[in-house]
Amino acid sequence: MKYRSEIDGLRAVAVVPVILFHAGFGAFSGGYVGVDVFFVISGYLITIILLSEIESGTFSIARFYERRARRILPALSVVMLACLPFAWMWMIPDQLREFGASLMAVVFFVSNFLFWSEEGSYFAAAAELKPLLHTWSLAVEEQYYLFAPLTLALLWRFGRRTLFWLVVASAVLGLLATEWGWRYAPRANFYLPQFRIWELLAGSICGFLATSHPPGAKNLPRASNGLSALGLAMILFAIFAFDENTPFPSLYALVPVGGAALVVLFAHKGTWVARVLSARALVGIGLISYSAYLWHQPLFAFARIRSLVEPAPELMMGLAVFSMVLAYLSWRFVEQPFRRRTLPLLPSRRAVFTVSGVAGAGFVAFGLYAKVSAGIPSRLAGVEPGSYAERLLESTRGAGLRIDCTPVPPGENRAPLCAVFTPENPKLRILIIGDSHAGSLLPAFAGVGRDNAVYQMALASCPPINRTSLHRAIFDIGVCEQATRDQVQAVREGQFDVVVLAARWSVYAGRGTGRRSFALGPEGDPFFPSLATSRDTFSSHLAATVKEYRDLGVAVVLIDQVPEHRVLPRKVIEQAILLDLEQGQGEAQFEQAVRETSVTVEEDGSLQAFTEAELDKLRGEKVWVLSFDELFARDGRYLWGDRDGTYYLDGDHLSAHGAALVEPAITAAFEEIAEVMPPGRPAGEAPP
């Protein structure tokens, strides 16, 4: 196969935006599409190699996998090995446990399935702390390599033309699958091969065309110039115009994928695009692009893990440059010797596979130990009983109130009705509905529960907003809709005086501390909701929900979400212990860490401005809005903890200690509500 320097230049165009996107530079909001460009290039090159060997009768499956092993495994193994000491020193137990699982998944090239199975999306803040997150794309490629050569060899008997159209049909079906996937299974759509294979097949189509009848525009400079320039422009457009809210992959992915295909097919020698992409700097970056891709995510992840706050942009840019330095070194001293067979230790195919197996077994052993041991918590053994650090750690280990709330039938994603506090002769019958925030508030109702019956009906990540559909949620479309119908039916059939709506409101209106938020649209609307649609739906349907409950004869209490943080308290605490910050000043250093990592009043106000304004609009007769922000305020920040513990289990859910802080205010509020409410309905009497 003739070397094309412009392909290496295209690799540079792909890898640099990916690196800057992961570094957190907003200008490259669509930099993640660089991975899609890589998929097209891989499909193109592999198909040309396979077709050439099959047609010449020299195809060997063993030789194919040996080449893949020499290309992929050496640099990947070096990067994984380099991660181990930093993971041991800096990762808290939960992080190390997850890292161990990812090590094992990378060895077997199934990390895309692992990250799909975990909570949170590729764009979430927690994903930035996973050093091996980027290996999901390597897994997709290896899964393609597992089937592509065998499939081509087996189906070759039907003829090249038939095989070509089978590839085209498979690519079209894969693209159509993404249109279903981003709506109903967004995590699977992003990570799993059935939703990504069409991008590699797009490259395969280019390979078929390039090895049969070269595009007719090859001898037409104007057409080649125009089509290749259009392709490059499409890639650049996606890099700067797309963001985390762009449904992806979907038909939108045709922009970078189609652009890459146009460059591959029409950027012939002599075209403007070929001259640009063949520039020495771009070709140089392209040559080391694989190693650069491997190094950048671990550098960024460990920088974020090591820092108690988000690293400065200057540091992230410095690490981006450093990733290129490491990339050159690993390309020069690892990739090239292995690919060119200049290492005396690995001259044969058997040696390559043997050494790869031994190295993989070592990574699996470490990963299994980290996972089975729950992150090797013995590394925190230096925490003294009764110390400030120990008290803070203890406060992160549970919400404090446990109730039997098993769905019926078990295992279904439903919102069951659960009794929380049931005193004799209650003044009020209160039903708390909402998402996981409603559950974390339950301990704060202990004072209310002394004189009032309190029930809960909540389902995580499902807003208590009737007749809406939630996109990008942890559940498929339909689950949250059923939850709200169950909640309305419970109020209609029950004997409740007050309905409490509690949720992480801002995330349903297109805002959250992570990179990606949910999208809320009217139930049954076939179109994916934009930010404007999410906010319009939030405003109109929340008001309609309050009215619906008021029409059922119950009062409504809306509880504003508590301040939201960008850090995980347990991460900060355990990380501080690992970094020996407890020595010396002790409590003073921990208090400083709490202050510096707590959200500012201004930042949280910006995050929740829209939803707080919408909640305030709903105040009225027997409709109350409660906010507890001021309880957390200190010197311009909303603190996530104090000397006695953390107020939060994570960035937004209250801990038992946080619920205790809020409890007196909730108790006082419901005492006032009880004074203006009519006497409770007699037992057995249904509400109107």
Residue 576 in this model has a pLDDT that exceeds 80: no
- Concatenated DSSP letters for 472-514? S-SS-TTHHHHHHHHHHHHHHHS--SEEEEE--HHHHTT--SS
Question: Distance between CA 228 and CA 266 in Å, rounded?
Answer: 5
How long is the chain? 688
Segment 67-89, tens digit of pLDDT:
899 899 999 999 999 999 999 98
Angle made by CA atoms 396, 399, 402, in degrees to the nearest 5: 145
What integer is the mean pLDDT of 136-142?
A: 96
Q: What pLDDT does residue 384 have?
A: 64
- In this prediction, residue 122 carries a pLDDT of 72
Q: Which residue has the higher pLDDT, 127 or 551?
A: 551
Closest C-alpha to 680, from 429, 309, 361: 429
Give pLDDT, residue 411: 53
Which tens digit of pLDDT belongs to each residue from 472-529? 777 878 889 999 999 999 999 988 999 999 999 998 987 644 444 578 999 988 777 8
Which of the pair, 216 or 268, is modelled with greater confidence? Answer: 268
> 159 — alpha (psi -120 to 50), left (phi > 0) or beta?
left
* pTM of full prediction above 0.85: no
Residue 268 pLDDT: 86
- Residue 451 corresponds to which tokens in the numbers above? 């004189």
Residue ranges of domains in the chain, CATH in brackets: 5-376 (no CATH), 418-567+600-676 (3.40.50.1110)
What's the CA gap between 429 and 99, in Å, rounded? 46
Residue 674 has pLDDT above 60, yes or no: yes
- Quick check: 54 pLDDT over 50? yes
Residues 391, 644 contacting (CB under 8 angstroms): yes
Beta strand pairing call for 623-626 and 633-634 = unpaired
- Picking from 5-9, 151-155, 315-319, 664-668, which range would have the lowest pLDDT averaged per residue? 151-155
Q: At residue 450, does pLDDT exceed 70? A: yes
According to DSSP, residue 156 is labeled: G
Maximum distance among all Cα pairs of the chain, rounded to whole angstroms: 90
Residue with token string 């037992």: 683
In this prediction, residue 514 carries a pLDDT of 44
Given this model, what pLDDT does residue 682 score?
A: 41
User: What is the distance between the alpha carbons of residues 73 and 75, in angstroms, rounded to a whole number?
Assistant: 6
Over the chain, what is the mean pLDDT?
A: 88
The phi and psi torsions of 324 (rounded to 5 degrees) equal -70, -40
